[in-house]
Structures are given as structure tokens and as C-alpha cells.
Copies of this chain bind each other. A is one copy, B any other.
Amino acid sequence: MGKEEKKAISPTREEDYSEWYQQVVKASDMAERSPVRGCMVIKPWGYSLWENIVRELDDMFKEVGVKNAYFPLFIPLSFLEKEASHVEGFAKECAVVTHHRLEKNADGRLVPAGPLTEPLVVRPTSETIIGDAFSKWVSSYRDLPLLINQWVNVVRWEMRTRIFLRTSEFLWQEGHAAHATEKEAMERTRLMLDIYARLAEEYLALPVTKGRKTAAERFPGAVETFCIEAMMQDRKALQVGTSHFLGQNFAKASEIKFQSFEEKEEYAWTVSWGASTRMIGGIIMMHGDDDGVILPPRVASSHVVFIPIYRSPDDKPKVMEYIQKIAMELKSSFYCDRKIRVEIDDRDTGGARGWEWIKKGIPLRVEVGPRDMSQDSVYVARRDKPHREKISMKRDFFVKEITNILDEIQNNLYEKAVSFKEKNTLQVDGGKAFYEFFTPLNKEQPEIHGGFALSHWCGTGECEAKIKEDLSVTVRCIPLEQEKEKGKCVCCGRPSSGRVVFAKAY
């Protein structure tokens, strides 16, 4: 599109990507900051997107035998302390409940009262409290595998927050499994990672790299952390989901023991996996344009909005009647096994309505006026096309074709994201080229750089730390499909046997 065309979002991505993100979120009406430090309010348009993501992921979990449950919000401090590296990882960001009442003090002001004998931590994650339950539920190999998930809020007190991407409270699911053998537990870890990758690619339209984390980036207490990493439009990496092989660390901390088939007492092998409302940030950041959000149809808050167009108010009733009928037909049809979601915007706010829906990212906008009706047609605009490109379609054809059109949009978003990711993922060798790759492309936007560097690394924490220190770049993952290749570490020149993904990250 030409420069001259005015965009709905200011600044544009090119002008200031970071501020563009804030403005897009605002314009989409998906969420806003709350008066509580670092916490967000998820508004209906954003929450509905979340509900759709939840539904898809929840179905995938249930297909592989995972059952939902609910565990307490509060974790006694003594539980958190059971796994040393775990508590160390979360101690700096814990909301701590210390009192269970409010009382008026001498000045008549309400103050906390009723001190607790043991402080309670608002769950940042639930390995320890769930581990305690598992220790009671598991006694024989017959009780295994135990496959549990919960959809809940968690709190990690963050100093620098950004809506959806990093907030002090967020919504997520955390899955927890106990297995009888190391092999099964590792298979489970990988299976859940595959499910996340499927969700990201097939539903969120986000191509991802699957890999394992380095020791420095692992979940506190895990033996191995696996992740999927997506690329955003500023070429930074966003970790979309993680799956942790916990070995017997948490089983030992929580005493999750069972009697094996051979009647020996053994510790279980546990796994946990999590994905959060951060996925919404990924959708916005990767698919959005300078006119706002673009929602992938499969999880979109809604699929299509009808906008009645008329000059005389007398025309409104018959236009509305015509629209209601199409809407009814669509609402009882299915797109990818879910009912089609339909909006009708009958507000009297003229052309402003169209722009609002563009900013909200609804996949299809359909205008209907008396002239369209007289030809039994509707006027259809796709959010993934320039906003002026509207096509007149016969009404019945539109009803018949809508699922194909939605699929085209879904695929289009995915293909665009794939080529962007491929274009900005390069093999980078030699210390100098590596440092240049991560040099800002543009002074005004110091954050934007080369993208994902597939580079050699010696595997030491020292080089990893130096690169982080110098460039704020980290090893995002060691790809699962890493090819064996001899090379030299981009930092120290020592030998390496394969390339890893380096990138700046959210």
C-alpha cells in the first residue's frame, strides 16, 4: 500500500513497533491496564479470543487423556521451599498473603489484621501444591500415568509489564503429569510440546521452532525445558509455550512414590507444561498491520460482522431483516467444527463502524444496503486484504463460501508468517557477522535487528552470558531438528557440533 494512505494506527510499525503494539491493543478493545500495578483487564473482545484458544487446546488435551481439576490459589511457603532451585527462581516475584482480615486501627483506618502463622504465596505455578496432591493420589503403578490440567490465574510480580506479554497476573493452563518411567515422562513432555506446536501453527497461524532450552533458560527445578518459539514482526522471539521434563526432582520434593509392578517403591517421573494469555500478544504482534489487529479465523473472537447501510431510516427495518436472516443461517453453520460467530453492528455511527471492526481484526466485514438487497448480494471485505478491496457476492454464494474464505484468510496469515520467519532466520557465522546481525537496523528503533541467527555455540554458560551481556541476545532454543554440523562458537571460537537459535526475546 502507498505511503499516502492514512493508517488507523499511529505510530506505524515502521515508526515505532513497540508503541504501535500498545496502540493496536488499545484500538482493538481487547484489554487495558488496570489500576492494580501490572495487572490487566481483559475486555470481552480479548476474552472471547482467549475462550476460543482455551476450547481448542482443552480439546487437544482431553484427546490425549488429560483431565481438568482445580488446586488452591495459595501455596504455603514451606511447600515452595521443598525444591531449592524452584523457590529461588520465583522468590523475587511472589505476591505474599500475610493476613486474613482487615481491622480499623486507632486512627480509624483499615489495616491488615489476623496475621497468618505461615505466609501464603499466590501461585506463580503449581508444581509444589499439585505435587502434594499427587503424593496422596499415587500409590501403585496402576495409578499412573496421572494426567491433570488446570485453567487458572497465576501471579508473578513483574517490574516491567506489557499487556498480554508480561503482566503480574495472567491466565494460563498448567498441565501436570506423573509417570512410572523416565521414558514415558519424556514422551509426555514431547507430546505436549507437539500439541502446543499444532495449536500455534494450525490455529494461531504462528509458525514455530521447537527446541530445548539451555540450562540458563530452563524452568526452575526442571531437568529439561522444551519450548516453541515464534518470530514477531520486529524479529524478536516470543516463547509461546513450554513443556518441562522434571525428572524425579519434584517427585522427591513432594514424596510422589509408587509401588512398581515388581513391588519396588519408586519415585514417579513428573512433567509440567504451560501456555498463557501471552499467546494473544503473539497473535497481535505477528499478524497485526498498521490498521490494527488481524485475527486468525480459527480462534477469532468473531468471524464476521454485518454492517447495515442505508440513507433513510425507513430503510433500516428491511435491511436489518435481510441481515438477520443471513446471520441466522450462518450461526447454525460450522467452521472447523465450531459454530460460526456473527456480529451485527446496527449502531447509527455510519462509516466509523467499519474502521472499528478493522481495528478489532474481525476476519470478514459485510456491508448490506438496499442496492445490494435488490441484487440479492452482499458486499464483502476481508481483513487480510487492503481495506478498500470489497467484493460484491451473491448472498447464497457468500453463505456457501464463507468457510472457504475463512480458510483462505487463515492460510494466508500463516503463509505470510512463515515466509517472514524464513526470510529473517539466517545462518550466521564468525563473531563479527554475528554481532552485526544483532545491530539495530534503524536508529529510531534500536530493538529491531536481524532476526533469528542459526549459529554455532560451544555450549558453555560463559559464552551464553557474554552474548547476553553484549547484545541482550540469548539462545532461544537448541532446535529439535538440529543438523549435525561442525563449526566454531560465535563467541569463543571453540568447536561446536550444531547450530542453535539466537535471538532477542520478549
Contacts and interface: CB of A to CB of B under 8 A. Distances in A.
A51 B68 contact: yes
A87 B110 contact: yes
A95 B121 CA distance: 11
A94 B101 contact: yes
A96 to B, nearest CB: 4
Contact of A100 (B50, B69, B99, B157): B157
B129 A72 contact: no
A310 interface: no
Contacts of A100: 93-96, 157
A299 to B, nearest CB: 15
B44 A148 contact: yes
A352 interface: no
Nearest to A153: B73
Contact of A74 (B36, B98, B99, B171): B36
B119 A112 contact: yes
A157 B120 CA distance: 13
A376 interface: no
A111 B119 CA distance: 8
Interface in A474-490: none
How many protomers of this protein does the assembly include?
A: 2
A87 B108 CA distance: 13
A47 interface: yes
Interface in A80-126: 80-81, 87, 91-103, 110-112, 114, 119-122
Contacts of A91: 101-103, 110
Nearest to A51: B68
A47 B69 contact: yes
A141 B142 CA distance: 61
Contacts of A98: 96-99, 112
B102 A74 contact: no
Nearest to A122: B97
Contacts of A99: 94-96, 98, 119
Interface string A299-331: 000000000000000000000000000000000
Contacts of A174: none
A336 to B, nearest CB: 17
A240 interface: no
Contacts of A40: 72
Given A96-B102, A99-B98, A100-B94, A169 B41 contact: no
Given A97-B97, A98-B112, A68 B39 contact: no
